[in-house]
Structure 1
Amino acid sequence: MTTVATQISIAQALTAVAPEGLPFRFTAYDGSAAGPEDSPVHMHLATERGLSYVLTAPGDLGLVRAYVQGDLEITGVHPGNPYALMRMMLNQLHFERPTPSEALRIVRGLGWSHLKPPPPPPQEHLPKWRRTFEGLRHSRTRDKAAIHHHYDVSNTFYEYVLGPSMTYTCAVYPTADASLEEAQHEKYDLVARKLDLRPGQRLLDVGCGWGGMVRHAAREYGVRALGVTLSSAQAEWATEAIKREGLEDLAEVRFLDYRDVSERDFDAISSIGLTEHIGVRNYPSYFAFLLDRLKPGGRLLNHTITRPDNRFRSTGAFIDRYIFPDGELIGSGRIIAEAQDAGFEVRHEENLREHYALTLAGWSANLESHWDEAVAEVGYPTAKVWGLYLAACRVGFERNNTQLHQILAVKLDNDADAHFPLRPTWGS
C-alpha cells in the first residue's frame, strides 16, 4: 500500500497507457483520480485485489474480473444497461501498449505484490487449455458443456431478458420504431418466406433454442417442424410452449445434437444462431450433413454472427470465458465458400448488422426494466456480466466489429434444377 501511494499512483499508471486521456471520471482506493470531474460516468477501483486483477490479466478480462467481484465500481450507468460506458470505452478510450521499460516502471511503482493473480470469479469458465477434460475442441461432449454454460443459466432469467418471444437471435426490424416482439416475429417470417415454406412440408431447425422458429413454422405455415438443441432447459421450455399452443401434431423439439438427427428428405432446414458454435474447421462436415438431410430442391437458411472480414481469430477473453466458451466467428465469404464446397448452390445473402444492434438495445432495456427480478434469479454478479455483455455487443455491431448474415442456399436435383423462381418472392 505504501509503495502505491509514494512511488506511482494508480491514476498515473492508467493515464500512462491512455495518453489521450479518459472520457470518464476515474478514482482509486489510493486517493488518486483522473478524467473529467463533471463526467456523469464514474469508475472507482476500490480494492487492492481489483488492482491485482487488472495487472495480472491486462485488457478486458482483468477489468471484468474486478467488476464482477465488486472491486471495480461503476456509477452513472445502470448495471443492466451500461451502454453509455461501453460507447465511451470502445469509441473514445485509446490504450497504448507500454514499452518494456515503461511497463517495468509501472509495475515496480504499483508494487510487485499485485502480480499474484487472485482466484477468478465463479462465473468465469475455464481457459481453453484447461477444458480438455471436457473433450477436444468442438467434440460432442465439449460442445454440450459449452452450451450448458451459456444457455442453461435459467429459463426465467431469459424470459426477463428476451421477452415473450423467447428468441435469442437477431431480430429483423420492419421499421425503426417496431417493437422487439414485432421484429422477432418478422425475423421468423422472413426465414419462412426465404425457405418458401408451405403446408405439409417438413422443416428441420438445428440449434432451435426455445423453439421459436419451430412454433412459427407450424402455427403460421402448417409445416411439420422438428427442432433440436443441446440445452435441456431450452428443450423442456420449448416442449411446454408447443403444448400450450396446441401444436403437438406439427411441432417437436428434442434435446439432441444436430449430428444425431436420423431423418432425411426435409424440404427446408433453418440454422439460426448455431454456426457460431460449430467451429470453423467443422464447417465442411456441418454443411455436408445439412445437405445430406435435404431433399433435392430443398433450401437451407443459415443465420449467423460474422466478422467483417474473413481472417480467423478467436473471440476476446471476456466473451470466451464468460459468455460463449469455444465460440468462433469468421466472415460471410468463408461461410459461403464452405457451403458451396459442400455442394450447396448459394442463391442469396444479406447483412443485418444494424438490426442486431437494435435487438441488443431491446434486450438491454428488458434487463434494465426487470433488474431486481433478474438479480433475484441469477445473482448480482451474473446479472452484471449480462448487462456488460449485451451493451458491449451492441457497440460492436454499431462499429462494424461484428455483422449478422443470412445465407440462403439450395440443394440442386440431378438435373441441376434449383426449384427456385427467377426472382426472389419473399419481399423485404
Structure 2
Amino acid sequence: MTVFHDATSHPNMSIAEALGALISGDKLPLRISAYDGSQVGPLDASLGLDLRTPRGMTYLVTAPGDLGMARAYVAGDLEMRGVHPGDPYPLLKTLSEHVDRKRPPAKVLLDVVRSIGIERLKPVPPPPQEALPRWRRLAEGLRHSKTRDAEAIQHHYDVSNDFYRHVLGPSMAYTCACYPDADASLESAQDNKFRLVFEKLRLDEGDRLLDVGCGWGSMVRYAARRGVRALGVTLSQRQAAWAQQAIAGEGLQGLAEVRHCDYRDVAESDFDAVSSIGLTEHIGVTNYPSYFAFLRDKLRPGGLLLNHSITRPGNDTSTAAGGFIDRYVFPDGELTGSGRIITEAQNVGLEVVHEEDLRRHYAMTLRDWCANLVRNWDAAVNEAGLATAKVWGLYMAGSRLGFETNVVQLHQVLAVRLGERGDDGGLPLRPWWTP
C-alpha cells in the first residue's frame, strides 16, 4: 500500500515532514525519515532519505538547494537509501522528476522554522571538502589568474592518481568518450574519442601536436604511438608526474612530453595541430578572446584546432556553475553555449569548419565512470576518504542526469588557422574522418 503525507497541510510538522516540505512540498515518492523518529512518504518506496542529525537540517535550511543537500550528504548527516553512494543516479533522477524547484510558500517556511526550532537557522561550518566561496578566493588571486587557476585545478585533479584510476579505468581519460555503438565498453569508447580527435586534426607521422589541459597525457601518448611529436601541458603536478612515467613506460620519450605548467607559458609555436580536450570549462568566458588568440598563434598557417568542452544549450544564460559544483567539484568553472565558443574562435580569425554535439556520449561516459566507482568503492574510499568518494559519486551521477536531460551538452569545434589570402592548407572539401 502507498501512503502519502502532504507536508504543506500540517502546521505542526515533524522533522520528516519539514524535510519533505523543503524538498518538494507534496507527494514525493520517497520514504523520508528523520532524527526525531518521524517518517513520511510511501511505505513501499524503494528509495529514501534519512536525515540523521540536527546539523543536517541546518545545512538544508541555511543553504537551500543542491549546496545544502550536498553539505548534509558529504558530512554524513543525510543518507540516501536504496542507492550505492558511488552511483546515486536512481534517487537523483526521482528527485529531478518530482521536486518543485520553486521556493516554498512563506507559510510553509514559517511552519518549517517552528518545527525545527529557530536555532537551526544559525549557520555551521561546512564539510572540509568544500572550497571557499568565490568572494573569499581573492586571496588566491583574481579569478582565472595563473595562481588562482592552479589552485582550482589542484582542488579537483590532485585528489589521488590511484583514486582516478579506480574511476576512469586504464585509459586515465577524464573527458567525454565517443561510443561507436551503444554496447561499446568505456575503454573502446575512449580510444575511439582519441582516434576521432586525431583524425579531425589530420595528424600524421612527423607532425607536431600541442595538447593543452592534457590531464594524464592520454591524447599525447595516443598521438606519439603514431609517430606524432606531442607536447602536453597541465596545471596538476600529480598528473604531469604520472603522465611522464607512463610515457617512459611505453618508450615514447623521444616523441612525447607532458609539462607541469600553465598553457599560457608554452613558448613553442608553429604546431601542426592543437587539441584542447576539457580545458575551456576552466578558463573563464571573458578570457575566451585571449585563449583562442593564444592557441591560434601556436598554429602554423593551415594548422587545425580541436576544442572539446562542456557547454550549455543556449548562449544567453548565466555562465557560473551551481553551488555544489563550484564549491565541491570545479571551483571557478564556467560554461556557455557552443555559439559563444564558435563566435570567439571566429573573432580571432580562426575559420570554424565543423562542430558536433556529443551530449549523449557524455551521459554514457558518466554512467560507466559511476559503475567503475561502485565496483572499486572500497579501494577508492581507502585512497581518498569516504567524503571525497561520496562527492565524486554525487557529482558524476548528477552530471549524467544533466546530460541526459539537456541541461548541459558537449561540443567539439574544429577550426583552422588560415594562411594569407584564405589558404586553409588544402583541407578536403568534406569531413575526412570516420564517425
What TM-score bracket applies, with the shorter chain setting the length?
A: over 0.9
Matched, 1:239 2:244: yes
Gaps of 5+ in 1: none
1:293-322: CA deviation from partner (whole Å, max 9, x where unpaired): 100000000000000111242111000000
* 1:13-412 equivalences in 2 (<5 Å): 13-17=18-22, 18-219=24-225, 221-313=226-318, 314-412=320-418
- Whether the 8 Å CA contact 1:137–1:326 is kept in 2: the answer is yes
Q: 1:34 Cα shift? A: 1.8
| Bigger shift: residues 311-320 or 391-400 | 311-320
Matched, 1:424 2:431: yes
- Name which of 396, 409, 414 aligns with 2:420: 414
Paired residues in the alignment total 423
Q: 1:345 Cα shift? A: 0.3
Cα distance in 2 between the residues matched to 1:19 and 1:109: 15
SS of equivalent to 2:173: coil
Structure 1 residues 226 and 404: CA distance shift in structure 2, 3 A:
same
SS of equivalent to 1:328: coil
1:84-109: CA deviation from partner (whole Å, max 9, x where unpaired): 11111112322431233442332133
SS of equivalent to 2:399: helix
Q: 1:203 Cα shift? A: 0.3
Aligned residue for 2:7?
A: none
SS of equivalent to 2:390: helix
CA RMSD after TM alignment:
1.3
Cα distance in 2 between the residues matched to 1:306 and 1:34: 39
- Whether the 8 Å CA contact 1:23–1:93 is kept in 2: the answer is no
- Whether the 8 Å CA contact 2:15–2:115 is kept in 1: the answer is no
Q: 1:275 Cα shift? A: 0.1
Q: Normalising by structure 1, what TM-score?
A: 0.97
- Whether the 8 Å CA contact 2:20–2:32 is kept in 1: the answer is no
* Letter matched to residue 271 of structure 2: F
Cα distance in 1 between the residues matched to 2:370 and 2:104: 35
Cα distance in 2 between the residues matched to 1:73 and 1:109: 21
Cα distance in 1 between the residues matched to 2:83 and 2:20: 22
The share of aligned pairs that are identical, in percent, is: 63
SS of equivalent to 1:347: strand
Cα distance in 1 between the residues matched to 2:229 and 2:90: 44
1:188-221: CA deviation from partner (whole Å, max 9, x where unpaired): 01000000001111000000000000000110x3
Structure 1 residues 82 and 102: CA distance shift in structure 2, 3 A:
closer
Cα distance in 1 between the residues matched to 2:105 and 2:394: 30
Cα distance in 1 between the residues matched to 2:48 and 2:13: 21
SS of equivalent to 2:96: helix
SS of equivalent to 1:296: strand
Q: 1:6 Cα shift? A: 9.9
1:116-155: CA deviation from partner (whole Å, max 9, x where unpaired): 1111101000011110000000100000000000000000
Q: 1:11 Cα shift? A: 2.7
* Letter matched to residue 430 of structure 2: R
Cα distance in 2 between the residues matched to 1:399 and 1:95: 16
